């Protein structure tokens, strides 16, 4: 299942690649000469691939202004000074309160500001906490809150779409992690990982116009990987 807008392939330079967890495991084994399933069991590879995928997920979220964001609503409870966040929330981007047919944005406050509100009333502000968000003032009735949030990174399993070398970030990140306790030279893998990071940053929606030009989106991978496409 794809979570990516349909217009992105054209904007990013080409059609996406479909890669499943099993595909990436095979590529990591090939690239890292880790064909032995006894020395390198799938479970170990999966752990490091998932960690590298989570890092890619975070990088895309940060450089694309909340690329993975979704939304959900929660109703407050009268006289209860907090509300839970939607299940699976990782980062809260915005909280708004329903006012008629529209939503009014709520301000996020720090601990130094929480004493300036009345005890109860219409919640105007919030503060993220372990239990969700604390509300100020404490709600005096039921209010509907809308959350815009980044969910936690999903686990890689079924095939998903990777654009313009995104899968390379996951692959080389996993290879570096797997080599952490060995004496292997990982300099080239580190270089390729940084190259993948530049590609992702270069295609980011958050890049400012005054920033320097980044390397070409597509061409960066052609010289390196068109020589041997057996793993694709």
Average pLDDT, rounded, for the chain: 82
In a domain, 181, yes or no: yes
Residue 61 lies in a domain: yes
Domain's final residue, options 151, 170, 202 = 151
Local confidence band at 12 (pLDDT 50, 70, 90 cut-offs): very low
In the three-class reduction of DSSP (H, G, I as helix; E, B as strand; rest coil), residue 7 is classed as: coil
Report residue 206's pLDDT band, with 50, 70 and 90 as the boundaries.
Answer: low
Long-range contacts formed by 212-217: CB under 8 A, 24+ apart: 217/12, 217/13, 217/164
> What pLDDT does residue 173 have?
95
d(CA 78, CA 41): 53
Predicted pLDDT at 215: 35
pLDDT of residue 1: 40
Query: Can you give the residue range of the structural domain that contains 28?
Result: 8-66+160-225
Do 103 and 164 belong to one domain? no
Pair 33, 49 in one domain: yes
SS3 160: strand
pLDDT bin (cut points 50, 70, 90) of residue 165 is: confident
Number of structural domains (the chain) is: 2
Q: Collapsing DSSP states into helix, strand and coil, what is residue 135?
A: strand
Grouping H, G, I as helix, E, B as strand and the rest as coil, residue 43 is: helix
* Reduced DSSP (H G I as helix, E B as strand, rest coil) percent helix, strand, coil of the chain, to 5: 35, 25, 40
What is the distance between the alpha carbons of residues 139 and 121, in angstroms, rounded to a whole number?
5
Tell me the whole-structure pTM to 2 decimals.
0.74
The count of residues in the chain is 232
Residue 135's nearest CA partner among 99, 169, 95, 167 is 95
Give domain status of residue 121, yes or no: yes
Q: Is 38 exposed, middle or buried (0-12, 13-18, 19+ CB in 10 A)?
A: exposed
**Same structural domain for residues 132 and 82?**
yes
Average pLDDT over residues 173-188: 89
Q: Which of 35-49, 177-191, 217-231 has the lowest mean pLDDT?
A: 217-231
22 compared with 212, residue with greater pLDDT: 22
The confidence band for 62, taking pLDDT boundaries of 50, 70 and 90, is: confident
Identify the bridge partners of residue 89 per DSSP, sorted by sequence position: 151
Least confident of 86-90, 139-143, 154-158: 154-158
174 and 204 inside one domain: yes
Query: What is residue 23's predicted lDDT score, i.e. its pLDDT?
Result: 92
Same domain, 37 and 143: no
Are 85 and 131 in a shared domain? yes
| Sequence-ordered alpha helix ranges (H) in the chain | 8-12, 21-32, 42-63, 166-178, 187-202, 219-225
For every residue of 50-89, DSSP letters joined together read HHHHHHHHHHHHHHTTSTT-EEEEEE--TT--EEPPPTTE
| Structure confidence at residue 180 (pLDDT) | 82
> How far is 116 from 114, CA to CA, in rounded Å?
6
pLDDT at 208: 54
Task: Please state which of the ranges 12-16, 76-80, 90-94 shows the lowest mean pLDDT.
Answer: 12-16
Show which of 121, 151, 181 is a domain's final residue: 151
Residue that is last in its domain, among 151, 170, 189: 151
Mean pLDDT of the 65-70 span: 87
Q: Are 52 and 122 contained in the same domain?
A: no
């Amino acid at each position: 299942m794809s979570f990516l807008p349909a217009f992105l392939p054209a904007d990013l330079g080409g059609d996406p690649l479909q890669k499943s967890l099993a595909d990436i495991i095979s590529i990591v084994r090939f690239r890292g000469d880790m064909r032995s399933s006894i020395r390198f069991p799938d479970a170990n590879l999966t752990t490091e691939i998932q960690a590298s995928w989570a890092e890619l997920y975070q990088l895309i979220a940060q450089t694309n202004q909340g690329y993975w964001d979704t939304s959900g609503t929660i109703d407050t409870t009268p006289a209860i000074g907090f509300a839970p966040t939607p299940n699976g929330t990782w980062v809260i981007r915005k909280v708004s309160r329903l006012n008629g047919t529209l939503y009014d944005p709520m301000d996020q406050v720090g601990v130094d500001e929480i004493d300036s509100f009345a005890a109860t009333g219409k919640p105007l502000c919030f503060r993220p906490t372990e239990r969700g968000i604390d509300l100020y003032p404490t709600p005096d009735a039921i209010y509907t809150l809308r959350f815009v949030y980044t969910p936690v990174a999903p686990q890689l399993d079924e095939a998903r779409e990777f654009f313009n070398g995104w899968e390379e970030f996951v692959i080389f990140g996993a290879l570096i992690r797997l080599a952490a306790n060995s004496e292997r030279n990982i300099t080239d893998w580190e270089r390729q990982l940084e190259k993948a990071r530049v590609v992702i940053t270069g295609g980011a929606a958050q890049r400012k116009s005054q920033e320097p030009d980044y390397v070409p989106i597509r061409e960066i991978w052609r010289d390196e990987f068109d020589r041997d496409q057996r793993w694709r």
